Structure 1
Amino acid sequence: MEDEEERFRRKIGPGSHEVRLHSLSSTRRPLKSWTPAAVFASFVVIVLCGSVVSWLDIFVFPGISSRQMITAKGGQGEPPQKMEFPLNCTNSSTVPQTCPKNYPTKHEPEESYAVVCPEYFRWIHEDLRPWKSMGITREMMERTKNIAHFRLVIKNGKAYIEHYKRPFQTRDLGTIWGILQLLRLYPGKVPDLELMFYCNDRPMIMKNHYQGPNAGSPPPLFHYCGNETSLDILFPDWSFWGWHEVNIRTWTNTYQAIKEKAKEMEWKDRIPYAYWKGNPGVSANRQGLMTCNATEEHDWNARLYVQNWAAESREGFKESRLEDQCIHRYKIFVEGKAWSVSDKYILACDSTTLLIEPVYHDFFLRGMLPMEHYWPVRLNNKCRDIKFAVEWGNNHIKEAQAIGERGSRFLGENLKMKYVYDYMLHLLVEYVKLLKFTPEVPVGATEYCAEAMACPVGGLFRANMEDSMVKSPSESLPCALPPPYDPRELQGFMERKRNYTRLLEELGG
C-alpha cells in the first residue's frame, strides 16, 4: 500500500512529502430497577410525536422557517440546455496533463430562490467568533506553518497548494479534491483566500493558550474536528469524496448503498443487540468498549468485533462492507484517536445509534440531538447504559425504531453533498471577511485542477474522483446562511442536550 500511495503522489504533482504512509492498523451486576420506565416511555413518546419541526422553526431559527424560500433573482422562459465538462485527460505518457481552460469562470443559476441552510450551519459563526473583533493577519496565519500539512490559496477561482508535510494516508489529497469540486460547483463565488490546513486526528489550537491579559491572538487553522477546549476551524473531512485505502466509496454512493441494503430487513426482524466493529487499538475508549462484549458470565447486550484493516486489505475487504452492517437493531458509535468519520456511516443505517458520549465533534454532529437522532451512552458507564438502551428498545420497538429512522433521515436531508459544498462555501466566505491581508500565491506552490489530480491515477482512487466530480456549475443557489446564535439561545440548545442525558442517568442507574 505504501508503493501505491507513492505512485499516486508522484503522478499527482510535486510537494514536500517527508512522512511515509502509516500502515493500516489497525462479575454480572444487576441493573437498578427502573420503576420510572413508564414515565420514561411516555416522555420519549412525547419527544417522538412532539413538535420537533416547530421547534426548529421557532427555537432554532427565530422568525425564519426551515422550509422558507428566499427569492434571489427572477427569470422567465425555458432554461438553456445544461452543459457538462467531464474529465478531459490527454491519455498520453509523452504529453503532460494540463488544466483545461474551457470551464466557466462565472455562472448565474436559473433557479431564483434559496432554501435556508440546515441548523448546524450556525456553528460557522461560532467557529469564527474568536477572530470577529480583531480580524486575521498574515502573521497570525503564518504561525501555524510548522504544524499545518498544506497551505491553500484560491486566486481568481484557481486553487494553489503549498505542501509542508504528509498526513496519514491521502487525507490531504482527498480534501484538496473536494475543494476543487467546490470551485467547479460555484465558479466565481469562492473569493480569493489563503488558509492553513491540518489533516491529522486531534485538534491543535487550544483555548487555554490564548486566555488571560497577556495572551496573544489565536492563529486560524482549518481541521476536521474540534472539542470544547479547542479553536480549530471545522471543515468537512476527506471521506465525503471516498476513502480508497479502506475501500470506502464516495458519501453519496455509500449512503445510497446503506439505505438500499437496510430496506431488505425490517427493524423488528433485526438481531436484537448492539453492534460495533472497528479497530479498538487506536484509543482507550474503544478498548474500554470491548469490555462490554458478551462472555459466559456477563451479557451487556453488545456484540463487538475487532476489525483488522491490514488483513482486510489483503483479502479484498470482503468483511468490511458498510452496507452489510445494518442487520442489528442497534449500532454503537465510539470515537477513535479523536472524532471518527464512522459517525455518518453508523447514523446512516436506520438501526438505532447508541452514541457513546463524544469528546470531539465534526461540523455536522453538533446539529443532532439525543433521543431525537440517537441514544446517548455515558462514557464512564457504557456497559450498563448499552444494556439498558437495548432492553428498553426491545420493549418499546416503535419508539426505538423511530430514533434510528430520524437519525438516518437527518443525514439524508441535511448532509447531502449539496449541503456539504454549501457549508464549505459559507465557511470560506465568512473566513475571508476576517482577513486583514491580500492573499498571494507563494513561490513554488502548485496549481491543482481535477485533471491534474485524477488523470494520472487509477483504481478506487480514480473511481471515487470520477464519481464525485462536479461536471457542471450548480443550477441552484447556495442555501441561505442562518444568523448566529443569540447567547441565550445557544445556552438553551446545549442545555436541552444535557437534559436528555440527565434523564437517562436517573432511569438507567
Structure 2
Amino acid sequence: MKHTITHNIVRSSTFKESLVIIYPFKATITKLSRQQNQFTLNCSHGNMTKTCPKDHTTTFDQDLEYSSEASGCPEHFKWIHEDLKPWKSTGITREMLESGKSISQLRIVIIQGKAYLEVYGPSFQTRDVFTIWGILQLLRLYPGKVPDLELLFETGDVPVVLKERFQGPNAMPLPPIFHYCGRKDTFDIVFPDWSFWGWAELAIRPWEAEMQSIEEGNKKVEWKDRAPYAFWKGNKRVSLKRYALTKCNASTQHDSYAHIYSLHWDKEVAQGFQNTKLADQCTHRYKIYVEGVSWSVSEKYILACDSMTLFIDPMHYDFFTRSLVPWQHYWPIRSTNQSMCSDIKYAVDWGNANPDKAEQIGKAGTRFIYENLKMNFVYDYMLHVLTEYAKLLRFKPTIPAGAVEVCSENVACPMYGIWRQYLVDSMVKSPSATPPCTMSSPYDEEEAEE
C-alpha cells in the first residue's frame, strides 16, 4: 500500500544514522509521588529539541505497595522458556549479538530504566515507532523492573534466524533476534507486535479500544442469527494461500458456503476505511484466518468475534497462538489447493448441522483472547521475556555510539494526526497497581513437541 507519512525518524541512505526528531516540541513530565502517580505527556512547539526531558521518570518509589497479590501467568507464557532455550547452555555473548546486526532493523538498549535506539534498516510504515512505543510504555508501567539489556529487533514479516544456518559443525554464532512471529525452522524470539498500540496506516486503533469495539459488535447479531457462511476479507495479493482462498468464494457450485472479499488498500484509504471496520465484521457464524506474507495481525481480531474460526494451516506463530487448541478454540483447515475449499465447506456444513457445538468453539476462541490477551498480560509477557533474556547475557550492556535516548516525548510529540492520537491513547498513565503475573515452569519435552 502506498501511503506515505512524515516519520519522526530520518535515516541516511546507509541506514546507520540514529533517530533525528524533525518537529519542534517541548515536553514535560509530572513528578511522581504516592499521592500523584499520573504520567503526563505535554507537547509544546515552543522550542526545538531532539532530546528527552532531563526529569522524565525512569524510576519510582519501590516501596509503593501493590493493591493485590500476583496472579499466575496465562499458559502461553511457557513458550518464553522454549524461545530462549537455544541459549540456555551457552548464554548470549557479545559476538552472538553483534552477528545479528545484518538481519535486524533496530538495536534497543535499556540501562537503568532508560531506553536507547540505534537504527540499522528501514521498517515498513511505522512498525518501528509503535514497537519502540510499546517498550517505552512497559518502562512506565513497571518502572525499575526492566533489567539492563541490549537486544536486536527484526521488524519485517518473515522470521530470519533459520535453524539450518546455525546448527552443525560449521554453524555460525547464533544471534538472538526478537521478532513478531516464529516458525518451526527458525530461532526468532517472539515478541508482541506493533498493532497492540495501533496500526495507524490502516486506521486500526490500539488493542484495548479495538477489543472493546469488537465486543460491542458481537452483541449486534446473536450467533444463531448470523449468516451461516464462512467470511474472510483482506488483501489476497500477499500470499498464494490467500489467492487460493478466493477460489472458494460464494457461487452456485459451492452453495455459498464462503463469502470471500478481496481488499485493495489504496481504495480503502481513499474511502476512509468505511468497509474495513473490524467491529462490523462479526456477522457470520464462521470466520477464516489465513496467513499473508507470514503470520497476520488479523489473527486476534478474527478470534475475538465469537465466530468459529477456521484456521488455514498456519506455518507461523505469534507469542500467544501456540497455546490455542484445535477443535477447542478453532477448526483446522488444510492449506493445499485441493483440500482448502472442501475443508471449509465441510466445517460450515458441520457447524450448521451442529450449531451449539460450533458456537461453543467460536466462543471458546473469543474467551481465550479476552482472558489471556488483556493489555496487562501483553505487558507482563514483554517484561518476562526481557527479564529471562537479560539473565542470559554474558556481557555488560552499553550504549552504542550511534544510539540516541528515546522516551515517550520524543517519539509521540513529533507525530501528528491519528499517529499521534493512537500513541497518546495507548500511553501508560501510571505505574501498575498490581504486580506482574507469576511465570510458570517450562514445558517438558513432550509438551513442547505437541
**Same fold, judged at TM 0.5 (above):** yes
Distance 1:94 1:126, change over 3 A: closer
The answer to whether the 8 Å contact 1:272/1:329 transfers is yes
Partner of 2:212: 256
Among 363, 382, 385, which residue is 1:424 paired with? 382
Instruction: State the Cα distance separating 1:486 from its structure 2 match.
Output: 1.2
Among 40, 45, 48, which residue is 1:86 paired with? 40
Partner of 1:481: 439
Offset from partner CA, 1:401-460 (integer Å, 9 cap, x none): 111111111111100000000000000010011111111101121111111111122211
3-state SS of 1:115 partner? coil
Distance 1:152 1:95, change over 3 A: closer
Partner of 1:242: 198
Give the structure with higher Rg (CA).
Answer: 1
3-state SS of 2:316 partner? coil
The answer to whether the 8 Å contact 1:89/1:97 transfers is no
The answer to whether the 8 Å contact 1:16/1:163 transfers is no
Q: Does 1:368 align with 2:324?
A: yes
- The letter for the 2-side match of 1:114 is A
Q: Does 1:284 align with 2:240?
A: yes
The answer to whether the 8 Å contact 2:123/2:155 transfers is yes
Instruction: State the Cα distance separating 1:144 from its structure 2 match.
Output: 1.2
- The letter for the 2-side match of 1:388 is Y
The answer to whether the 8 Å contact 1:18/1:166 transfers is no
Q: Structure 2-normalised TM-score? A: 0.92
Partner of 2:402: 444
Looking at structure 1, the residues matched to 314 and 397 of structure 2 have their Cα atoms a distance apart, in angstroms, of 36
Instruction: State the Cα distance separating 1:296 from its structure 2 match.
Output: 3.5
Among 462, 467, 478, which residue is 2:425 paired with? 467
Partner of 2:311: 355
Instruction: State the Cα distance separating 1:214 from its structure 2 match.
Output: 3.4
- The letter for the 1-side match of 2:86 is P
Distance 1:490 1:95, change over 3 A: closer
Looking at structure 2, the residues matched to 84 and 215 of structure 1 have their Cα atoms a distance apart, in angstroms, of 50
- The letter for the 2-side match of 1:463 is Q
3-state SS of 2:254 partner? coil
Which of the pair is proportionally richer in helix?
1
Distance 1:289 1:375, change over 3 A: same
Among 205, 230, 254, which residue is 1:298 paired with? 254
Among 273, 278, 284, which residue is 1:317 paired with? 273
Looking at structure 2, the residues matched to 420 and 149 of structure 1 have their Cα atoms a distance apart, in angstroms, of 22
- The letter for the 2-side match of 1:464 is Y
Instruction: State the Cα distance separating 1:213 from its structure 2 match.
Output: 3.0
Partner of 1:129: 85
Partner of 1:397: 355
Instruction: State the Cα distance separating 1:392 from its structure 2 match.
Output: 0.8
1:111-150 equivalences under 5 Å are 111-150=67-106
Among 404, 409, 414, which residue is 2:367 paired with? 409
Partner of 1:327: 283
The answer to whether the 8 Å contact 2:78/2:440 transfers is yes
- The letter for the 2-side match of 1:403 is I
Looking at structure 1, the residues matched to 50 and 83 of structure 2 have their Cα atoms a distance apart, in angstroms, of 41
The answer to whether the 8 Å contact 2:51/2:405 transfers is no
- The letter for the 2-side match of 1:228 is K
Q: Does 1:272 align with 2:233?
A: no
Query: What count of residue pairs does the alignment treat as equivalent?
Result: 429
Distance 1:109 1:366, change over 3 A: farther
Distance 1:3 1:352, change over 3 A: closer
Instruction: State the Cα distance separating 1:200 from its structure 2 match.
Output: 0.4
Instruction: State the Cα distance separating 1:167 from its structure 2 match.
Output: 1.4
Looking at structure 1, the residues matched to 212 and 372 of structure 2 have their Cα atoms a distance apart, in angstroms, of 14
Partner of 2:122: 166
- The letter for the 2-side match of 1:223 is H
Instruction: State the Cα distance separating 1:164 from its structure 2 match.
Output: 1.0
The answer to whether the 8 Å contact 1:153/1:192 transfers is yes
Partner of 1:72: none
The answer to whether the 8 Å contact 1:300/1:383 transfers is no
Partner of 1:70: none
Distance 1:124 1:16, change over 3 A: farther
Partner of 1:103: 57
Instruction: State the Cα distance separating 1:352 from its structure 2 match.
Output: 1.0
Identity %: 53
3-state SS of 2:411 partner? helix
Structure 1: where are the runs of 5+ without partners? 20-78, 495-509
Instruction: State the Cα distance separating 1:14 from its structure 2 match.
Output: 4.9
Looking at structure 2, the residues matched to 409 and 103 of structure 1 have their Cα atoms a distance apart, in angstroms, of 36
- The letter for the 2-side match of 1:286 is R
The answer to whether the 8 Å contact 1:293/1:299 transfers is no
- The letter for the 1-side match of 2:360 is A
Among 313, 319, 342, which residue is 1:384 paired with? 342
Instruction: State the Cα distance separating 1:482 from its structure 2 match.
Output: 0.7
Looking at structure 1, the residues matched to 34 and 172 of structure 2 have their Cα atoms a distance apart, in angstroms, of 53
Looking at structure 2, the residues matched to 219 and 113 of structure 1 have their Cα atoms a distance apart, in angstroms, of 37
Looking at structure 2, the residues matched to 162 and 425 of structure 1 have their Cα atoms a distance apart, in angstroms, of 21
Q: Structure 1-normalised TM-score? A: 0.81
Instruction: State the Cα distance separating 1:208 from its structure 2 match.
Output: 1.3
Partner of 1:64: none
Instruction: State the Cα distance separating 1:15 from its structure 2 match.
Output: 4.2
Distance 1:328 1:100, change over 3 A: farther
Looking at structure 1, the residues matched to 46 and 255 of structure 2 have their Cα atoms a distance apart, in angstroms, of 61
3-state SS of 1:196 partner? strand
3-state SS of 2:115 partner? strand
The answer to whether the 8 Å contact 2:181/2:188 transfers is yes
